[in-house]
A = this chain, B = another copy of it.
Amino acid sequence: MDTLSGASRNVLLRAEAIRLVIFDVDGVLTDGTLFFDLQGQEYKAFHTRDGLGIKLLRQSGVEVAVISGRSSEIVRRRMELLGVERCFQGFEDKLAAFGQIKHELGLEDAQIAHVGDDLPDVPLFRRVGLAVAVADAHPHAAALAHWQTSLSGGYGAAREVCDLIMHAQGTLDAAVARFL
């Protein structure tokens, strides 16, 4: 696949070990825009192709979780629809949520991937086995990632990560074959 052509052997080896993918929300599962109306109500926009990627990744046996510094009922509802129960919101210190998920699932750092776009993702980037920055990530975050997607947050970046991990684990072809 074209979008995975930038993945080196090192990245593929890291991806092969992953049992849990943690996504940041704003700027990763969305394009980073925060919509508001006059009453202060918030709106959010996710991407349809990211949704399918998360479903397929979970079906392949990899866990998915969300850790976000902000908090919104919209995120909880969207993730629920995709079967993602571990939705940690309002965590400015993402390491706290990270420790809790890791403990619950009994995983090593090397088995966890984190997808982020900015400085609050950096503490996780330095811990996890596979740190992924979206194409339009802040340069400080991108510089510390093992891999960077070719698509921007909210426009398929999350899907690329799902594809990368399933490709590295040899589960992508079977998932695709179900549609053939």
Contact = CB atoms under 8 A, between A and B. Distances in A.
Contacts of A1: 139-140
Contact of A32 (B36, B41, B155, B179): B155
A48 interface: yes
Interface residues of A, number: 49
Can you tell how many copies of this chain the complex includes?
A: 4
Interface string A55-69: 000000000000000
19 contacts: A1-B140, A3-B139, A32-B49, A34-B46, A35-B43, A35-B44, A36-B44, A36-B46, A37-B41, A38-B41, A43-B43, A49-B118, A49-B138, A52-B118, A119-B176, A120-B179, A122-B179, A123-B179, A136-B155
